[in-house]
Amino acid sequence: MTPSPSSLPVDQSSHGRTPRPRTGPLAGLRVADFCWMGVGALATRLLADFGADVIKIEGRNRIDLPRRLPIYKGDRLRAYGDEDSAPDPEKGGLFNNFNRNKLGVTINLRLPEGRQLAERLIATSSVVSENFAPGVMENWGLTYGRLRELVPEVIYARMSGFGHTGPHASYRSYGPVVQAVSGLSHISGLPGQEPSGWGLSYMDNMAAYFNSAGLLLAVLQRQRTGRGTEIDVSAVEAGIGLLGPLLLDAEVNHRSTRRPDYPPGNRLEHPPAAPHGVYPSRGEDEWVAIAVFNDDEWDRLVAALGQPAWTADPRFGSQSSRHAHQDPLDEHLSAWTRDRLRHETMDLLQAAGVRAAAVQNARDLTTTDPQVAAHGLFFELDHPVIGPALFEGVPFLASSFTPDHWRSAPLMGEDNAYVFKTFVGLADDEYDGLVERGVIE
């Protein structure tokens, strides 16, 4: 009964790359997916993982950025922005990671015939998703009103940085801009210094997840009532919702976050935990996080350290006093952590009942992390150009359904014939004509 990852890793050899009926809660759901970039691709990835036929609609004159970014097997050391001048769109690892389990078609939407073909594809689908700048879908005539003519109870999921209405609807954004505008960057850093913010496009992930949730809510709603819906997700608004209670501190207590002791770095104001920080470990740039929330946890930490004399300092005699004297406290604790390996400290403190974790990286997750291994979180799929690669799986195990990882990301237009002949019902000669005229690219 307990969910188990025993079905992983996935063996692809039995079915290769030919599309097949999917399994999972969303099997039978067909999505005409105009999403692109990381944030768009992630939003529909969950649907594809759990059985939906997600048809990624691409064009050869607008190559998806994750196809171009140089995250390549065996590549030299370089930043992701350091693109090749004419990159091979099939080589991109980021695209592979984001678009597994999806079908891929290529349509030239600049041509009237291309837009007609897109409408025919939409007419055989029941969900349409997109994350272009507001106005792009309208320019192609693909308004919610038009989609309802094609599919009366369509679900039309739209996501953008600022939402589809309001004076800043056309503002441009990507993850770090969303994090800045929503307040998430400002609240992160050491007091009195430039904010350290985020080392990733956190809001690409989170806006995508809320878009996935919105899509699932719409699917549930249609299951209950038979009715479709348009969905508007603003990444900035999703980000503001993630600020949490400190937004209420500003609203209710009129407490400004523009004050000299804010943000608190790794220290915690509420509750007054101490020690609460990230401490040096043996090795270059290696660290361990330790968090002590009450006297019991402090006593266990002291016991784990072997009750050194400094822990008896009256300044460290209560939680509030420790919180008031974090500079000397952190100094003592750092002297102890500095000579130990980060995982050694983690295991020793956890065995004593103290909250602690090594500051891990992707190599640790992949090679030594016991949870990632036990849960089968990372799994392997083959790809015709890239070869076998690891993928980030789903972070939950369910007893009544499992993800259906059937294939790595589609090559450009890999499923044109399958989708347009099987789903749309084009005859062979009609299909050939569209290919010849460059409508199907």
Partner 1 sequence: MSGSDASGGPPCTGLVVVELADDPAGELTGFLLAQMGATVRKLEGPGGAASRSAGPFAGDLADPEASLPYWFYNGNKDSVVADLATPDGRAVFEAELAGADVLLSTLAPRHLRRLALALDELVAARPELIVVSVTPFGLTGAWADYLSSDLVGLAASGLLNMSGYDDHTIPPIRPGGDQGYHVAGTFAHMATLLALVERGRSGRGGLVDVSMHDALAVTCELSNPFWFYPGFVVRRQTCRHAQPVPTQPAHFLCGDGRYVYFALILAEQKPWQALVEWMATLDMALDLSDAAFLDVGHRQANFAYIQNLVECFFLVQDSLSVYHDGQARGLPIGILNAPEDLFDDEHLQARQFFVPVDQPGVGTVRYPGPPYRFSAFPPVARRAAPTLGAAAPTGPAD
Q: Of 310-329, which residues contact partner 1 (CB under 8 A)?
A: none
Round to whole Å and give the CA distance between 123 and 434.
18
Q: Which one of the spans 15-23, 116-124, 309-317, 382-390 is the region binding partner 1 (CB under 8 A)?
A: 382-390
Nearer to partner 1, 297 or 415 (CB): 297
Nearest-angstrom CA–CA distance, 398 and 396: 7
- Binding string, 389-418, against partner 1, x = CB under 8 A? xxxxxxxxxxxxx-----------------
Residues 434 and 107: beta-carbon distance below 8 Å: no
Contact 157, 215 (CB under 8 A): yes
- Measured CA to CA, the distance from residue 176 to residue 201 in angstroms comes to 6
Nearest approach in angstroms of CB 135 to partner 1 is 13
**Which of 13/367 has CB closer to partner 1?**
367
Min CB(343)–partner 1 separation in Å: 10
Whether the CB-CB separation of 359 and 311 falls below 8 Å is answered with no
Question: Could you give phi then psi for residue 222, rounded to 5 degrees?
Answer: -70, -35
Among 21, 260, 261, 270, binds partner 1 (CB under 8 A): 270
Rounded Cα gap, residues 211 and 39, in angstroms: 9
Does 341 bind partner 1 (CB under 8 A)? Our answer is no
Residue 345 as a binder of partner 1 (CB under 8 A): the answer is: no
Q: Which parts of 73-132 interact with partner 1 (CB under 8 A)?
A: 73-81, 83, 93-94, 97
Cβ burial of 230 (10 Å; 0-12, 13-18, 19+) is: middle
Considering the rule CB under 8 A, would residue 196 count as an interface residue with partner 1? yes
**Contacts (CB under 8 A) with partner 1, residues 32-61:** 38, 46, 50
Please identify, using beta-carbon distances, which residue of 64 and 204 lies nearer to partner 1: 204
- Residue from 63, 359, 411, 435 touching partner 1 (CB under 8 A): that is 359
Among residues 54, 118, 127, 184, which is the contact residue for partner 1, using CB under 8 A? 184
- The CA-CA-CA angle for residues 277, 279, 284, to 5°, reads 145
Is residue 268 within the footprint of partner 1 (CB under 8 A)?
Answer: yes
Q: Which of 29, 74, 100, 17 is nearest to 417 (CA)?
A: 17
8 vs 117, beta carbon nearer partner 1? 8
Going across the sheet that includes 287-291, the strands are: 276-280, 287-291, 355-358
Query: How many residues touch partner 1 (CB under 8 A)?
Result: 167
Compare residues 214 and 413 and give the one whose CB is closer to partner 1: 214
CB-side exposure of 353: number of CA atoms within 13 Å?
10
Cα-flanking dihedrals φ and ψ of residue 409, to 5°? -65, 150
Whole-number Å distance between alpha carbons of 234 and 206: 11
Window contacting partner 1 (CB under 8 A); options: 53-61, 109-117, 272-280, 431-439: 272-280
With H, G, I as helix, E, B as strand and everything else as coil, classify residue 198: coil
| Residue 204 touches partner 1, criterion: CB under 8 A | yes
Of residues 278 through 317, those in contact with partner 1 by CB under 8 A are 278-280, 285, 287-291, 293
Nearer to partner 1, 72 or 140 (CB): 72
Are 66 and 409 in contact, with CB atoms under 8 Å apart? no
In angstroms, what is the minimal distance from the CB of 185 to partner 1? 5
Backbone angles phi, psi at 357, to 5 degrees: -150, 140
When asked if residue 62 is in the footprint of partner 1 (CB under 8 A), the reply is no
372 lies in the binding site for partner 1 (CB under 8 A): yes
